[in-house]
Amino acid sequence: MKRFLPLLITFIVGFIVISSEFIPHKPFNSINAGLENWFMIISGFAIILGQLSLIKVNSSKIINKTQNWQYYLAGMVSFFVMVLCGVLWGTQDAPGLLGNGTLVSSWLGVKPFEYLFNNIYQHLSSTMFALLAFFIASAAYRAFIMRSFESNLLMIAAVIVMLGRTSIGTSFTAWLPQGWRFLHLPNIADFIVSFPTNAAQRAIMISAALGIVGSSLRILLGIERSYLGGGE
Amino acid sequence: MSDKQPPKQIDRRYIFLVLLIGVTIPLIFPLGFKSEVSGLSKQVYKLVEETPANSTVIISFDYDPATVTELQPMAKALIEHAWRKNQKILALALWPQGVQMAEQAFADIIKKYPDKKYGIDYVNLGYKTGGIVTIQAMGRDFKEIFPTDLKGTPYDEIEILKNVRNYNQIGYIMSLSAGDPGLKQYVMAAHDMFKVKVSGGTTAVSTPGFMPYINDQHQLYGLLGGLKGAAEYESLIGVKGTATSGMDAQSIAHILIIIFIIMGNIRAYKMRKL
């Protein structure tokens, strides 16, 4: 029964959702609307679950003083400071438990949550993403080597697209006469992205979609049961 | 056996340093390279341009500060263009931090358009979890999904929302998307199910993944790809923003990466010769 009931619920719910796509009339559409609302409510709770999981995983690492436990501590402190600022004084438009924190806000210029978000979180987050450029440059030097026909093709395409997507690349071939505009770097880059890349993307998307249909059917029919847990 | 020594690999710290200098200089002293506007950006521009005045449009902020360099200039340019055309903007976010991104974008652009009023010309509906299901549910009833705006004002009391019930009253949707949920979900749910016009912008790295949606069915009306897309849109609306100035730095970074690739290949060639 412990396994049969979830499988039955999954089958019925899946059947209703699929049916509502093909029969957008009562009762399928109204049941589907209710299920959509349930999904959004459960998604909201999933955020809380995620936060609890974060606290649990990090605190156990801090308590057990695993390797680099100081970083986990820094993460936890940051998490609680942000949560506290949001809960106590609210965000830009919404007041918190202590109202709008006029005194603190007048000192900082904005509410504490906004101050931390704008001046710390935003810059740290952008920095992390920006660091990728340095690693890409280093990796390009080490790994982008001509070894075979395929790797040569990949590299030539990459160089053309990279140049075609920059302002400086445009100026390299800007002198070409109108009749030769198809050889203009941005045009070649657009061609590569619009045709060969697009064709490959479509193939990947169609394959992935077929895979999703297959695995969804396996779940609905109870063949795939790993989502129930228990290692079966 | 050859007694030649294999060529040394460049210390990665030098690569980092050269790139840092190469990116920083154009940011301080702009080089002013001219950029051509692609057809994809022109399609986005045309969509905004051809949408009638007083239409209500959606700008969805589906990104976080990590991708702010590429997507925030797009957001600002799109808000400015929509306001120039007297369109009314519903801002919402499928990413939690998107709410702050929207607030910042509006705060910047409102300085140029002080006559635009919150609740009349634009509204921030805030973040909603649920991804594609939320987009799907919005096609049924906006009020059910967003009973209040970010400030807690009830839906019925917001002037801009008085005649908006679902996608039928929406001119177009622009999703500025850094991943999932985002533009792809709007195409699948809002366009494919409710036939609303969808367009938007993505980071450069994910742009090729959206190309299949630009087709005869107009699943996507154009696309702004990365910083270049943002710079192109700024150029189309005649604004010199952060994307335009950032393009010089990106151009130098790309050239440097190509130089590093060439150097790496010369080294590999020499290694093979040994």
Q: Can you give the residue ranges of every domain in chain A?
A: 1-60, 67-142
Averaged pLDDT for residues B180-197: 95
Q: How far is A171 from chain B (nearest CA, A)?
A: 8
Tokens representing A101 are 């924190």
- Find the residue in B nearest to A152 (Cα): B265
User: For chain A, where are the alpha helices, taking DSSP H only?
Assistant: 4-22, 28-63, 69-89, 102-108, 112-116, 122-143, 149-164, 167-172, 185-194, 196-220
**Up-side HSE of residue A62: CA atoms within 13 Å toward CB?**
14
pTM as predicted? 0.89
Q: Please list, in sequence order, all residues whose beta carbon lies within 8 angstroms of the beta carbon of residue A115, skipping any fewer than 6 positions away.
A: A108, A109
Residue A122 has pLDDT above 60, yes or no: yes
Q: Specify the 3-state DSSP secondary structure of A92.
A: coil
Q: Do B66 and A129 touch (CB under 8 A)?
A: yes
- Peptide bond just before B154 cis, omega within 30 deg: no
Residue B29 has pLDDT above 90, yes or no: no
Q: Do B65 and A171 touch (CB under 8 A)?
A: no
Q: Looking at chain B from residue 144 to 163, which residues have their Cβ under 8 Å from any Cβ of chain A?
A: 144-145, 150-152
pLDDT in tens, A67-104: 999 999 999 999 999 999 999 998 877 888 988 888 88
Residue B1 has pLDDT above 70, yes or no: no
Q: How far is A8 from chain B (nearest CA, A)?
A: 22
pLDDT in tens, B251-273: 899 899 999 999 999 998 888 88
- Find the residue in A nearest to B123 (Cα): A93
Averaged pLDDT for residues B138-157: 92
- Among all chains, which residue has been given the structure tokens 């790496």? B264
Residue B33 has pLDDT above 80, yes or no: no
pLDDT at position A231: 56
pLDDT in tens, A142-163: 888 888 899 889 889 988 988 8
Topology (CATH level 3) of domain B39-251: Rossmann fold (3.40.50)
Residue B3 has pLDDT above 80, yes or no: no
Rounded Cα–Cα distance for residues B98 and B88 (Å): 19
Say how many C-beta atoms besides its own lie within 10 A of residue A106's C-beta. 9
Tokens representing B94 are 């499928």
pLDDT at position B30: 82
Q: How far is A85 from chain B (nearest CA, A)?
A: 15
Of B35, B100, B265, the CB nearest to A117: B100
Q: Do B258 and A129 touch (CB under 8 A)?
A: no
Of B34, B64, B130, the CB nearest to A40: B130
Q: Is B219 at the interface with chain A, CB within 8 A?
A: no
Note whether B119 and B159 are within 8 A (CB): yes
Rounded Cα–Cα distance for residues B187 and A212 (Å): 18
Residues of chain A neighbouring B64 (CB-CB closer than 8 A): 125
Q: Do B211 and A198 touch (CB under 8 A)?
A: yes
- Find the residue in A nearest to B102 (Cα): A92
Q: Do B69 and A92 touch (CB under 8 A)?
A: no
Q: Do A37 and B137 touch (CB under 8 A)?
A: yes
Rounded Cα–Cα distance for residues A191 and B63 (Å): 28
Q: Can you give the residue ranges of every domain in chain B?
A: 39-251
Of B15, B103, B130, the CB nearest to A138: B15
Q: Specify the 3-state DSSP secondary structure of B148.
A: strand
Using pLDDT thresholds of 50, 70 and 90, give the confidence band for residue A11: very high
Q: How far is A22 from chain B (nearest CA, A)?
A: 12
Q: Do B251 and A166 touch (CB under 8 A)?
A: yes
Q: Please list, in sequence order, all residues whose beta carbon lies within 8 angstroms of the beta carbon of residue B107, skipping any fewer than 6 positions away.
A: none
Averaged pLDDT for residues A48-71: 94
Residue A42 has pLDDT above 60, yes or no: yes
Rounded Cα–Cα distance for residues B10 and B263 (Å): 9
Q: Looking at chain A from residue 18 to 47, which residues have their Cβ under 8 Å from any Cβ of chain B?
A: 33, 36-37, 39-40, 43-44, 46-47
Q: Specify the 3-state DSSP secondary structure of B124.
A: strand
Q: Do A170 and B104 touch (CB under 8 A)?
A: no
- CA A4 and chain centroid, separation: 34
Q: Is A151 at the interface with chain B, CB within 8 A?
A: no
**Poorest-pLDDT segment among A128-132, A178-182, B62-66:** A178-182
Using pLDDT thresholds of 50, 70 and 90, give the confidence band for residue A228: confident
Averaged pLDDT for residues B46-52: 97
Using pLDDT thresholds of 50, 70 and 90, give the confidence band for residue A230: low
Note whether B193 and B187 are within 8 A (CB): no
CA distances from B10 to A28, A138, B13, B15, B217 (A): 64, 9, 8, 7, 50
